Amino acid sequence: MSVTPLSILTADQFDKSQLDELIEDSTQIAAIMQKQKTLPLLNDRILATLFFEPSTRTRLSFESAMIRLGGHVITAVGMQFSSLAKGETLYDTLKVMESYADVCAIRHPQEGASAKAAASISIPVINAGDGAGEHPTQGLLDLFTIARYKKLGEENVRVAFVGDIKYGRTIHSLLQLLSHYPVELVFISPPELGLPQKYVEFLTRSKIRFESTSKLEAIENCDVGYITRIQGERFVDHQQFEKLRDYYVINKALVQKCKKDLIIMHPLPRLSEISTDLDDMPQAIYFEQAKNGLYLRMALLLKVLNVKLPSK
């Protein structure tokens, strides 16, 4: 009997107990990795990273995670350097992957591309960003980060999302994950870049309290500020992007007016939306957040390849 592999395609596929388990595993891995460089549980396994959109952290942290687990990595980066540029379909590119690799992580400009990929091949597929759709592994590492700093699950956590709520796929994934916990969400964006209707309906259905505004001051009574860049590559009208790109700037003066224990997160890369004068404030945890991505992705690779942590 063939078993359908566990793919990671959307934040919506997780229930609360799976999220709690992932947070627990990532916490355990983070502790182990303070003491050693590798945790060789995936010897001889191969990860293929297929990235057809720009990426630095996501691809490299997946690759680092696999290598630190003792596995290997093969990679194809950029449409222009792959056979897609010769006119090959994504399906044909992927179809051969199942004999080259045991798991693949895909980033593609089209929404739904990784779900299509998962339906056509027999190895687990991890969605590493599909256009303006979702970015579930970033959402998971963001959730893990919030859980490390806040009493997630025990106390009500007020999270402000700032920037490009319309096209920001990391926001789309994170809001769905947060809906399993006691939270209140505040969406701060230029009016043109507000929360897509689909997520308005999702939050309403999930009975999550949320509000939308264009006023940056709304961050002042929040526990988490999740800042994003305006996603220039998704705009049809480049002039509109130029008009909005510097709409918000979070700086030291603003953060000093906020709650003392506010944490400022950002999936990176940043443009000008977080001033560098914030970098040395204890509230600025975006580099720590990126580091957490390594532990979370190690936990995820173990999960999809069905390998347990030693203590389990």
Q: Are strands 103-108 and 125-130 parallel, antiparallel or unpaired?
A: parallel
| Span from 93-101, 178-186, 206-214, 227-235 in contact with ligand NCD (CB under 6 A) | 227-235
Q: Is 179 in the site for ligand NCD (CB under 6 A)?
A: no
Rounded CA-CA distance 92/46 in Å is 19
Closer CB to ligand NCD, 170 or 292, in the complex: 170
Provide the minimum distance between the beta carbon of 1 and ligand NCD in the complex, in angstroms, as a whole number.
36
Alpha helices in the chain (DSSP H): 16-35, 57-68, 90-100, 113-120, 136-149, 169-178, 197-205, 238-244, 252-256, 286-304
Q: Is 229 in the site for ligand NCD (CB under 6 A)?
A: yes
CB 273 within 8 A of CB 163: yes
Compute the C-alpha angle 117/119/121, nearest 5°: 70
Query: Locate tokens 């988490």: which residue?
Result: 224
Rounded CA-CA distance 102/72 in Å is 10
Closer CB to ligand NCD, 174 or 268, in the complex: 268
Q: Is 59 in the site for ligand NCD (CB under 6 A)?
A: no
Q: Is 268 in the site for ligand NCD (CB under 6 A)?
A: yes
Q: Is 129 in the site for ligand NCD (CB under 6 A)?
A: yes
Provide the minimum distance between the beta carbon of 53 and ligand NCD in the complex, in angstroms, as a whole number.
7
SS3 breakdown of the chain: % helix, strand, coil, rounded to 5? Answer: 45, 15, 40
Provide the minimum distance between the beta carbon of 35 and ligand NCD in the complex, in angstroms, as a whole number.
27
Count of residues in contact with ligand NCD, rule CB under 6 A: 12
Closer CB to ligand NCD, 57 or 166, in the complex: 57
Rounded CA-CA distance 20/14 in Å is 10
Strand order in the sheet with 183-188: 209-213, 183-188, 157-162, 224-227, 263-265
Q: Is 169 in the site for ligand NCD (CB under 6 A)?
A: yes
Provide the minimum distance between the beta carbon of 286 and ligand NCD in the complex, in angstroms, as a whole number.
10
Q: Is 138 in the site for ligand NCD (CB under 6 A)?
A: yes
Q: Is 170 in the site for ligand NCD (CB under 6 A)?
A: yes
| Span from 37-45, 177-185, 207-215, 224-232 in contact with ligand NCD (CB under 6 A) | 224-232
Rounded CA-CA distance 221/111 in Å is 34
Instruction: Choose, by CB under 6 A, the member of 9, 26, 48, 57 that binds ligand NCD.
Output: 57
Q: Which residues bind ligand NCD (CB under 6 A)?
A: 57-58, 129, 135, 138, 169-170, 228-229, 231, 267-268
